[in-house]
Structure 1
Amino acid sequence: MTNVDLPEALREQIGEARSKWGWFVAVGVLLVLFGLYAFYNVLAATIASVFVVGTMMLIAGIAEIIHAFYMRTWSHFLWLLLSGVLYAVAGFFAFYNPVFTSAILTLMLAISLIASGGLRVVFALGQKAKTNWGWMLAGGIITILAGLIIAVGWPVNSLWILGLFLAIDLTFQGWALIATGFALRK
Structure 2
Amino acid sequence: MADTSSSMRDIRQRIVDNWGWFLALGICLLIGGMILIAAPLASSIAITLLMAAVLLVGGLVQIYQALTSKSGGRHLWSLITGIIAVIGAIVIYTNPLAGTFALTLVIAAVFIAQGISQLLLGFQLKPHQGWLWVVTAGAVSLLAGVMIWMELPDSAAWALGLVAGISVMFNGWSYIAIALAARAVKG
1:109-148 → structure 2 map (5 Å cutoff): 109-148=107-146
CA distance in 2, matches of 1:132, 1:30: 33
Which residue of structure 2 aligns with residue 50 of structure 1?
48
CA distance in 2, matches of 1:9, 1:164: 36
Report the alpha carbon displacement of residue 116 of structure 1 after superposing the two structures with TM.
Answer: 1.1
Partner deviation per Cα, 1:24-45 (whole Å, 9 max, x = no partner) = 1111111112112122211111
Amino acid at match of 2:168: L
CA distance in 2, matches of 1:66, 1:24: 40
Which residue of structure 2 aligns with residue 173 of structure 1?
171
* Identical counterparts, % of pairs: 28
Could you tell me which of 4, 19, 22 is aligned with 1:21? 19
TM-score normalised by length of structure 2:
0.89
1:42-121 → structure 2 map (5 Å cutoff): 42-121=40-119
CA distance in 1, matches of 2:179, 2:130: 32
Report the alpha carbon displacement of residue 162 of structure 1 after superposing the two structures with TM.
Answer: 0.6
Q: 5+ unaligned residues in a row in structure 1: which ranges?
A: 1-5
CA distance in 1, matches of 2:64, 2:101: 30
Amino acid at match of 1:103: F
Amino acid at match of 1:85: I
CA distance in 1, matches of 2:135, 2:177: 29
Which residue of structure 2 aligns with residue 156 of structure 1?
154
Report the alpha carbon displacement of residue 138 of structure 1 after superposing the two structures with TM.
Answer: 2.5
CA distance in 1, matches of 2:130, 2:167: 26
RMSD: 1.7
Report the alpha carbon displacement of residue 176 of structure 1 after superposing the two structures with TM.
Answer: 1.3
Aligned length: 181
SS in 2 for 1:131: coil
Report the alpha carbon displacement of residue 73 of structure 1 after superposing the two structures with TM.
Answer: 4.8
Report the alpha carbon displacement of residue 142 of structure 1 after superposing the two structures with TM.
Answer: 2.1
Q: Kindly tell me: are residues 134 and 99 of structure 1, through their superposed partners in 2, closer, same or farther at Cα, counting changes over 3 Å? A: same
Report the alpha carbon displacement of residue 132 of structure 1 after superposing the two structures with TM.
Answer: 3.3
Report the alpha carbon displacement of residue 65 of structure 1 after superposing the two structures with TM.
Answer: 0.7
Amino acid at match of 1:68: A
Amino acid at match of 1:86: I
The answer to whether structure 1 residue 36 and structure 2 residue 34 are counterparts is yes
Report the alpha carbon displacement of residue 140 of structure 1 after superposing the two structures with TM.
Answer: 1.4
SS in 1 for 2:72: coil
Report the alpha carbon displacement of residue 101 of structure 1 after superposing the two structures with TM.
Answer: 0.5
Amino acid at match of 1:129: P
Amino acid at match of 1:53: M
